Amino acid sequence: TAVLNELVNRYFTKHLEVHRSAGAFDFVSQQSDQIRARLNQTEDALRVLKAKAGVMSLQDSTVSISTQSSHLEDQLRTAESDLAEQVAKVKQIEQGGAPVTLNEPDKTNDNTKESTPAPANQMASNKEIGDYQALVTNLTHLRETQLEMSAKYTSENVLVKMNQAHIDDLENQKRNLEKKFPELASMRAGGSGQMDLRAERARLAGMKSKVDDLRRQKTELQDRMKQLADVGPQIANLERNKELEENNYKYYSGTLQKARVDEALDPSKMPNISAIQRPSPPGLVTTTRNKVALGIAGGGLALGLALALLSELVFSHTYKRRSEIELQLRSPVMLTISYQGRNGRRLRLPWKNGRRAGKETPAKTKPNLAPWEVEHFIRPYSEAIRDRLGLYFELHGVTHKPKLVGVTGFGEGSGTSTLAAGVAAALSETGDGKVLLVDVNAANGEVHPFFAGRPAAALTTAIEPQAAITSAADNLYLATISRSGNKSTHLGLKKFFALIPNLKASDFDYIIFDMPPISQTSPTIGLAALMDKVLVVVEAEKTHRDVVKRGYRELVGARADVAVVLNKTRSYGPNWLEGDS
């Protein structure tokens, strides 16, 4: 490494000695100063010449003067045309005798009316002339008002009539004054002619002044253009010299800056050559080992995912999620119940929120509580099923009493009896009537452990009218299919048909049947057809899919109204990943 670095450094030094010129910096500096001095002289001469000519930019001044000259020519031609027209008009008025000519038509038209002129000695005074002029002015104003009012009102309007009367009055006064002083009429017409002549002459004088001023401006612009024509070539020459010297100065300034950089740089840092990569120190090559380790890790991860997928999709033949049941049975799942441990807690992964699940505070639920007790874990699920059953019966018009609800499963320990007792307890709390829970599995007066040792009456005794039986809770009663002392028998279809009249005549609003698991020998399929609703409990991760499909088809084939409940579902991941199951 050291040898290679030394070789690179010496190459840089030798390259600098070969390609660098010793006197380059001084030559470039002298040339730059000389060009800068000439550029300053040219700028001063150009500034003095422009100040003398009174321009900032030769091109802009030339364009501006040309535009002004063209505009001034147009104005001068227009003014001369107007002046000639006005001269002709004034001559015509002067030759025609405007004051006399204007009054002649009136005299010829009024020969019959004004045959006798006013006496020569009767002349109008200044006061009478003023009154006459005011009278003519008011009369003109009133006529204009009359014209406006006639457009808005009819001739019968009061305002129109008053204004017309005023006009007639002024007309009479004017006519009397003209009879008394005939010169007033001729004075009014002659005065107008005299005034027109004076106005036209004044206008003619103004036009002459305007033409003279425009001609003077034209002469000034011509002198200005002659001045620019004399100075223009000199200014253009100086501007070309200035542009050339500026370009030379920029070039030498850049060269001078580069020479200064070359003078200050270290030989190992030449601007036109650099090291692409410096020699690296020796080291152990571990690329192959890293690739092997990464391949093993990736293969283990892929193998784990493959085993999980095989276990889930191929080797497992049970239901784990409600979506699987809804997809295969094409029937919605009424409810999903989570698996509860011995202490009543829901089973999850061993670690949760940074603490072991075993160290959490145990739930208050006790395993020996009866399903109708408030603290039992099944109560929230039972109340949900109760509400959905009530809504179903209401929507389908099931109003008869009692309503028969059967609860069955596919094996022992699936939670059928617990769910049946919980639903019966939830229905008994609505206050609509009494609820009877019939255990079709028990015989000889036996009761299940969750009955808390309370005795149950025979079904035939419980459904008799006004039967005196002991309630397990408020409005909740227990019954079995046989009387105490009899041999164990099953509730067959024939026996159940015989009990139907007594069932209809009983005082119960709901009768919940805890029926045996579905099998080839159980009477569940036949009894299910006689129920108003059948709840089928499927135990998650235990009941085989084929068994569930076969039992569901048999129940549907018997025309039973079936609803599926998925029990003992387990969660192996966070809730946000699995969703509400």
**Per-residue pLDDT for 103 more than 50?**
no
For residue 211, the SS3 value is: helix
Classify residue 233 by burial, with Cβ atoms within 10 Å: 0-12, 13-18, 19+: exposed
- In the chain, what percentage of residues exceed pLDDT 70? 74
Q: 107-111, 240-244, 550-554 — which is least confidently predicted?
A: 107-111
Cβ–Cβ under 8 Å, residues 568 and 416: no
Please report the pLDDT score of residue 18 as a whole number.
Answer: 64
Please report the pLDDT score of residue 563 as a whole number.
Answer: 92
Per-residue confidence band for 576, with pLDDT thresholds at 50, 70 and 90: low
Please report the pLDDT score of residue 574 as a whole number.
Answer: 62
What the block records as the tokens of 106 is: 């009136």
Averaged pLDDT for residues 212-228? 86
State the CATH class of domain 322-578.
alpha beta
Phi-psi map region of 475: left, alpha, beta (phi>0 left; psi -120 to 50 alpha): left
Calculate the average pLDDT of the chain: 76
Please report the pLDDT score of residue 455 as a whole number.
Answer: 63
At which residue do the structure tokens 């010299």 appear? 241
Please report the pLDDT score of residue 17 as a whole number.
Answer: 64
Name which of 335, 360, 330 is nearest 348 in CA terms: 360
Half-sphere exposure of 376 (CA within 13 A, CB side): 23
Please report the pLDDT score of residue 296 as a whole number.
Answer: 92
Which comes out higher in pLDDT, residue 276 or 86? Answer: 86
Please report the pLDDT score of residue 533 as a whole number.
Answer: 92
Name which of 560, 511, 566, 553 is nearest 534 in CA terms: 560
Please report the pLDDT score of residue 349 as a whole number.
Answer: 40
Which comes out higher in pLDDT, residue 94 or 107? Answer: 94
Please report the pLDDT score of residue 110 as a whole number.
Answer: 42
**Per-residue pLDDT for 290 more than 70?**
yes
Please report the pLDDT score of residue 69 as a whole number.
Answer: 87
Residue 555: CB atoms within 10 Å: 21
Residue range 386-435, pLDDT digits in tens: 999 999 999 988 888 888 999 999 988 888 988 998 999 888 888 778 89
Q: 14-28, 296-310, 440-454, 463-477 — which is least confidently predicted?
A: 440-454
Residues 6 or more apart whose Cβ sits within 8 Å of residue 566: 319, 322, 325, 333, 335, 336, 337, 538, 540
Cβ–Cβ under 8 Å, residues 422 and 473: no
How far is residue 485's CA from residue 203's CA, in Å, rounded to a whole number? 146
**Per-residue pLDDT for 529 more than 60?**
yes
Averaged pLDDT for residues 299-324? 82
Averaged pLDDT for residues 183-202? 60
Averaged pLDDT for residues 509-537? 89
Please report the pLDDT score of residue 521 as a whole number.
Answer: 82
Per-residue confidence band for 85, with pLDDT thresholds at 50, 70 and 90: confident
Per-residue confidence band for 499, with pLDDT thresholds at 50, 70 and 90: confident
**Per-residue pLDDT for 126 more than 90?**
no
For residue 452, the SS3 value is: coil
Cβ–Cβ under 8 Å, residues 326 and 557: no
Averaged pLDDT for residues 547-560? 90
For residue 97, the SS3 value is: coil
Please report the pLDDT score of residue 536 as a whole number.
Answer: 93
Please report the pLDDT score of residue 98 as a whole number.
Answer: 40
**Per-residue pLDDT for 124 more than 80?**
no
Q: Where are the domains of the chain?
A: 290-317, 322-578
Residue range 347-373, pLDDT digits in tens: 444 433 434 444 344 444 455 676 767
Per-residue confidence band for 108, with pLDDT thresholds at 50, 70 and 90: very low
**Per-residue pLDDT for 547 more than 50?**
yes
**Per-residue pLDDT for 266 more than 80?**
no
**Per-residue pLDDT for 534 more than 90?**
yes
At which residue do the structure tokens 């060009």 appear? 35
Q: What is the dihedral of CA 43, 47, 50, 51, to 10 degrees?
A: -170
Cβ–Cβ under 8 Å, residues 512 and 407: yes
**Per-residue pLDDT for 58 more than 70?**
yes
**Per-residue pLDDT for 122 more than 70?**
no
